[in-house]
Structures are given as C-alpha cells and as structure tokens.
Structure 1
Amino acid sequence: MAFDVRIINSFLAAAVHVIKTMARVDSEPGKPFLKADDRALGDISAVIDISGAEEGSMALSFEESCIKAIVSNLFGEPVTEINTDVKDAVGELTNVICGDARRRIAEKSIVLQAGIPTIVAGNNHRINHPHSGPRLAIPFTTASGRFTVEITFRE
C-alpha cells in the first residue's frame, strides 16, 4: 500500500504548525518509517478516527519530557507530571493537528472527517488503531524530547 504523499505531508505540516503556534515549541520532522507493531513511541498518546474519502486514524504520542514542556508553555506554568490536564491537552492537540491537516487536505479536494480522540498513557502502552493497514510513523524532535505522529489508512 502506498501512502498518498499529499495526505502525509498535510499531517506533517499541521503537526509542526500547531505545536509552534499553540505551544511556541519548534519541532523538526525526522524520516518517516513503517511501524511493525502497536507499541506507542511515547509515554502518552491520543488516537483519533478518520473517515470520509479515506478510512483510517491518526495517533499522536509524546515522550513525557516533551509533553510536559509543551503543556507548560500552553498553561504558562510548570507542569511536573502527567495528570488529567496533560491528558486533556494531548486530546486537544490531537484534535487541532487533525483538524489543520484535514483543512490542508480539503484544499486538495479530499474531504475527511474526524472523531473524538481516545487518550492512552503509561509505560509500554499500545495504540489500537480502529482500522487495519500499514502504520506510517513520523518522528519529530524538539528541544525537550520527541513526539510521533502515526497515520494508518484501511487497505
């Protein structure tokens, strides 16, 4: 299965844009790769269902140091643990990144809708995408750690 580069690039651009504008954090995308399993590449994740012209999902996973720095910037005060506020922020960031990506994709005449994100946290947690298919992971590096965007579409 080949991923549509227009869709992948839209998610990549949305992640960089949203993290920069909402949290004032610069991020640098790394080389995308296919994931072989459902283990999360971070300490907290959110998964959101995507439907419409394509059926799939997006997951956003953060290392603890990365999400604490991002949420500290969002809230304007230090965040020292992954708590309910951090989980809510991960869900909101997932919504906004997915929404920005869908807007960019719609400019290419591909219409997608999104569901409500599900948050999962903890060491070695798993990401259960609602659709089967190859999982493309795009790692991002920030000054405070890494986050990853995973995208999968039904085959």
Structure 2
Amino acid sequence: MKDKVGLIIQTFTDAVVSVVETMAGVKTEPGRAFMKNAPTAKGDISGVIGMSSSNGCGRGSMSLTFTNESALGIVGRMIGEDFVEVNKDVVDAVGEMTNMVCGQGRKGMAEFGIVYSGAIPTVISGAGHTIRHVSASSVLAVPFQTEFGPVTVEICFG
C-alpha cells in the first residue's frame, strides 16, 4: 500500500509541475509531501474536484490552492495579462488548471491500475477558507514554490 501512496503522490506532483510549466511557462519546485491535519487551505483560492471509481466503491478529491499572489502571477502569465485582483478570469483559470492537474493525475494512476473519474471542479476563495475533502481518509499535501509564490496540491482517497 505504501508504494501505491508514493506513486499517487509522484503522479500528482508531476501533474502540477507539467500543467503550471506548460500552461504558464512558470517553473514549479515541489517540496516534501506531508499529511494535512486541518481543513484550512494553505492559500487564498482553491480549485476542488471530486473523483469516484468506476464501480462506485472508491471516492476521492483533489484540490489545488494558490495564494492570491501566485494565482495572479501564474494566471497572468498563462493568459498574457496583468491581473491586480482575483476576478472571474482568474477563478475560471484556477478551475481549469485544477481540472487539468486532476486529469493528468488520474491518467497516471490508471497506468498502475487505479481508475477514477473526475467531476466538475469548483473554486473556493477567501483568506482562511476550508476544504472539505469527500473522504474521511488522510489528506496528503504537496507544497510547491514558484516565482509568484506557493501552490499546494492536496489529494485524498477513501
């Protein structure tokens, strides 16, 4: 089981690096994965997406959280505009990056026999917002550093 957890962490880590670097041209350095114990987000704006196994027995969720600064910088680079505040375009882009990271992560998991379908992402914003993952299982988090500030991916499967 521990080997699968490591593979899942690596798959989602690779997905974040790939999406942020490909879509925005922003280098993304992953930090050390950790178990997250509190529902408070590690930033100001989060895309959250639910997942379920094909037989309906497994559920999971993934979130991608940005500080306001990292969201504005990464989305600005991605779209080619300068943003000074989080607006509808930034929210939409965070949702789309969440969807892409989740899709790449699920594709990677399928390669080692774990198949999940994804739902439509939602975006939550505001300092101190909480993320309620769809499973009561442990939440694994991986922090990333970019030139615009931190980004965190969280994954949870039950």
Check whether TM > 0.5. yes
Residue of structure 2 equivalent to 1:41: 42
What is the letter of the counterpart of residue 92 of structure 2? D
Residue of structure 1 equivalent to 2:127: 123
Residue of structure 1 equivalent to 2:25: 24
Residue of structure 2 equivalent to 1:94: 98
Residue of structure 2 equivalent to 1:136: 140
Residue of structure 1 equivalent to 2:114: 110
Unaligned runs of 5+ in 1: none
Specify the SS of the correspondent of 1:65. Answer: helix
Residue of structure 2 equivalent to 1:83: 87
What is the alpha-carbon distance in structure 2 between the residues aligned to residue 135 and residue 108 of structure 1? Answer: 21
What is the alpha-carbon distance in structure 2 between the residues aligned to residue 7 and residue 122 of structure 1? Answer: 28
Query: RMSD of aligned C-alpha atoms?
Result: 1.4
- Is the Cα–Cα contact under 8 Å of residues 9 and 33 in structure 2 kept in the other structure? no
Q: Compute the TM-score of the two structures, normalised by the length of structure 1.
A: 0.94
- Is the Cα–Cα contact under 8 Å of residues 15 and 104 in structure 2 kept in the other structure? yes
1:64 aligns with 2:65: no
What is the letter of the counterpart of residue 142 of structure 2? I
1:4 aligns with 2:5: yes
Residue of structure 2 equivalent to 1:73: 77
1:25-73: CA deviation from partner (whole Å, max 9, x where unpaired): 0010001111111000000001100111642110110011111111111
Q: List structure 1 segments (4+ residues) > 4 angstroms apart after TM superposition.
A: none
Shift of 1:109: 2.5
Q: Compute the TM-score of the two structures, normalised by the length of structure 2.
A: 0.93
What is the alpha-carbon distance in structure 2 between the residues aligned to residue 48 and residue 111 of structure 1? Answer: 15
Unaligned runs of 5+ in 2: none
What is the alpha-carbon distance in structure 1 between the residues aligned to residue 146 and residue 49 of structure 2? Answer: 23
Residue of structure 1 equivalent to 2:149: 145
Specify the SS of the correspondent of 1:77. Answer: coil
What is the alpha-carbon distance in structure 1 between the residues aligned to residue 53 and residue 79 of structure 2? Answer: 34
Shift of 1:6: 1.5
